[in-house]
Amino acid sequence: MSSHAKLSRFESLQRIWIQEPEQRTRFIALGVISLCFIKYICTIVYRLYFSPLAPFPGPKLAAATSLYEFYFDYFKKAKYYAEIERLHKVYGPIVRINPLELSISDPAFYDKVYVAGNVRPTENYSHFASGIGFEGTFFLSTAHDLHRKRRKPFEPYFSRLGVTKLEPIINEFVKKLIKRFDSFKGTGRVVRLDHAMLAYSGDVIGHICVDNPKELIEDENFTPEWYDLQHSMIKCMPLFTEFPWIIHIIKWIPSQILVWIDPKSECFNVWRASAKKHIEQVKSDKHRMPEEGTSNLGGRPTLFRYIVNNSGLAESDLSVDRLTKEAQILLGAGSVSTARTIHYIVFYLLSNEHMRKRLEEELKDAMAEWPEKKLTWAQLEKVLYLQALIKEGLRHSYGTMHRLPRVSPSAAFQYKEWTIPAGVPVGMTAYLQHTDPEVYPRPFEFIPERWLSNVTPQMTRSLVPFSRGSRNCIGMNLAYAEVNFMLAALFRPGGSGFELFETDESDVVAAHDYIVPLARLDSKGVRIIFR
């Protein structure tokens, strides 16, 4: 091309740029689109051929874009867990399931991924649950040392010894719920058991956290809006995780408008306001502890009064905003899974007369004088069939069904012939652990008797409803105690007085992985009737 032609081309572009704004806008837009397209293509090429994860097996589409996972979790309603199971059958025990993450299906390797901090520093995967707006809580603190620092003050409260001190408050809410159930006997009243159990577990953790929160059990219908809100939030997780900026937009919307859009959110606002008010009050008390007998917990300080006064955390970690988020996380995590485990077990007890009669027989002497004489958690652990039911219920309800990715920030580690680079998220799931037919024959059948004889080390090792390692579920002991006390009270001598109402197995069996498992989405819930 001659220099004259080049000059003419340049002058033409210059004229468009200066004199034709519409053409200039199109030119800029085309340039931006072209750059984005080139960047996207380069990203895909890098992920497929140059990423440290490029050698690992798995579908190319999953390696190229997170939209592969998003398709199954959003459009297929949280079904990626089933696709991951299929991918393991096709590609083997280690699979690349998205551009940045590996999944392993091998029960023997679980304790190598979910390790204690003194074995290898472990971080969470910062992208996991990044869109829910609770960054800064100990649960979502990424750095190993920061997570340990923020979590450590909570541990004494939820230790085995700490939970034994909470037995009176657990028993108080068991008694309140049973009193309401007893009042329904002979009335033909139909009750959503899943609502009632979430109200129970929500009241326990609520009263542990703050002074005098609203009691969910006292609501005429066991606060269905609280159940609906929790599950509406859970169902939004795939969208928020893929597009975390959405939650930041929602934060700017006035609460009055959100309540107008979704009236159920008012319940959440009330509890958040209660938690915030309590924490502000605690911080203004200038390190005064409550006088004996003045708190929810019989003189023991609430969890957040204890944290503010005794944790030794830096003032920046004791901000009202951060501690309010901690309270919200604990309320959700400390109620939904526990409630699901209880109503899951109750469903099978009501569906199987042999199971129910055997439990009632074993509880006959132990619970004969309840509630005047209350057994301790340690005493209930000696009721072997009750413990078998709880283990089988936890196996089927999974706790957290979703994989919980872990990252080794500075050291690579080995899985068979595969070297997993430092910084790579690796996830395993309770679902795959709990349904391995080599460990649990007939894995999808509810068989509590499997825990009474011939219990193998592999069975115990593969039961991970609370995960393991330095980031395991801090509320494990509380959940065990709540489940024990409630089941014992429901099936004490002359206790139940109710039966299933228009409820079948599809109303309880996990079908969708919204972090926690949900049954079919069109279910009307687990319903019981008092004849």
Annotated binding site: 473
DSSP label at residue 407: E
d(CA 450, CA 458): 13
Residues 397 and 465: beta-carbon distance below 8 Å: yes
25: how many CB neighbours lie within 10 A of its CB?
10
- Spatial neighbors of 249 by CB under 8 A, at least 6 apart, are none
What is residue 319's three-state secondary structure?
Answer: coil
The pair phi, psi for residue 518, each rounded to 5°, is: -125, 150
**What count of residues does the chain have?**
531
> In whole angstroms, how far apart are CA 355 and each of 360, 362, 387, 397?
9, 11, 13, 18
Cα Rg of the chain, angstroms: 27
> In whole angstroms, how far apart are CA 191 and each of 58, 179, 419, 492, 521?
46, 14, 53, 20, 19
d(CA 185, CA 506): 26
The HSE-up count of residue 180 (CA atoms within 13 Å, CB side) is: 20
d(CA 271, CA 332): 11
Task: Report CA dihedral (255, 257, 263, 268) to the nearest 10 degrees.
Answer: -10
Residues at the annotated binding site for heme? 473
* Tokens standing for residue 472: 């395991």
70-96 residues labelled b (16+ CB within 10 A) or e (exposed): bbbbbeebbbbbebbeebbeebeebbb
d(CA 348, CA 508): 10
Task: Report CA dihedral (437, 440, 445, 448) to the nearest 10 degrees.
Answer: 180
